Amino acid sequence: MVVKKGHRQRQAMATKAQIASAARALFAGQGYVATTIAAIAESADIPAPTIYSAFGGKAAILRAIAWGIADTLDIDRAHEEALAEPDPRDGLRRAANIQRRQFEQMYDVIDIYQEAARTDPDIARDMRTIAANRERAFRRHVEAIAAHLAPGVSTDDGVAIYLTLVLPEVYRTLVIERGWTAGRYENWLADALITQLLP
């Protein structure tokens, strides 16, 4: 009985992964709004009722995609390591690496979220929560290096600078539109954070 239950759980997880993969490709290719559950069902080769049963709707699928990637990145631990660096410059370089990894692995999902938030109140609420969590993490970092901030840069200024430099639109401009490598973006971001925040 235990074996059967474990097998069913693995099958359910595999089905969800298949749905999420198909949905991610469709969301990125034709947009969140234009993608229907029927289209996801056809692409994933899984009946639409199964998709509704597994997730409930498009918003839940998008959340599952985002959380699945976020889990592999282990962002919270990475931020703690950045905060623990004795040299604030090294901590900011770690922060730049965190942003690079996030954008490298899930920029398409961030872009989908931004589109979806314009029409889906649940996703819009998610976006506000995500933005608040990001700002809280950045504020913790700036507060941790407050004694090292450049003259005239308050904690609030530091948070505003940090938030601006790590905007997804900046990554899009430099990497996707201008052809920078992710490594070049990371180095630029690290240098920009250090130059703007520290003496």
- 95 in Cβ contact with 82 (< 8 Å): yes
Contacts of 139 (CB under 8 A, 6+ apart): 155, 159
Distance (Å, whole) CA 24 – CA 127: 17
**Which class would CATH give 74-197?**
mainly alpha
| Residue with tokens 């239950």, as numbered in its chain | 5
Give 79's pLDDT tier (boundaries 50, 70, 90): very high
- 58 in Cβ contact with 67 (< 8 Å): no
Q: Where are the domains of the chain?
A: 2-64, 74-197
The whole-number average pLDDT for the span 81-94 is 96
What kind and span of H or E run contains 11? helix 2-30
pLDDT per residue as tens digits for the range 118-147: 999 999 999 999 999 999 999 999 999 999
Give 6's pLDDT tier (boundaries 50, 70, 90): confident
Whether 7 has a pLDDT exceeding 80, the answer reads no
Q: What is the pTM of this model?
A: 0.90
What was the pLDDT predicted at 4?
Answer: 60
- 3-state class (DSSP) for residue 179: coil
Say yes or no: domain 2-64 is CATH 1.10.10.60. yes
Pair of tokens at residue 18: 């298949």
Distance (Å, whole) CA 29 – CA 52: 22
Q: Which of 18, 6, 8, 119 is nearest to 64 (CA)?
A: 18
Q: Residue 80 carries which side chain, given as an amino acid letter?
A: E
Distance (Å, whole) CA 151 – CA 128: 32
- 3-state class (DSSP) for residue 58: helix
What's the Cα-to-Cα distance from 77 to each of 88, 113, 178, 193, 198, rounded to whole Å?
17, 24, 31, 20, 24
Whether 114 has a pLDDT exceeding 90, the answer reads yes
Share of the chain above pLDDT 90, in %: 91
Whether 97 has a pLDDT exceeding 50, the answer reads yes
What was the pLDDT predicted at 145?
Answer: 97
Q: Mean pLDDT for the chain?
A: 94
What's the Cα-to-Cα distance from 6 to each of 3, 11, 13, 51, 53, rounded to whole Å?
5, 9, 11, 20, 19
Give 5's pLDDT tier (boundaries 50, 70, 90): low
- 137 in Cβ contact with 143 (< 8 Å): no
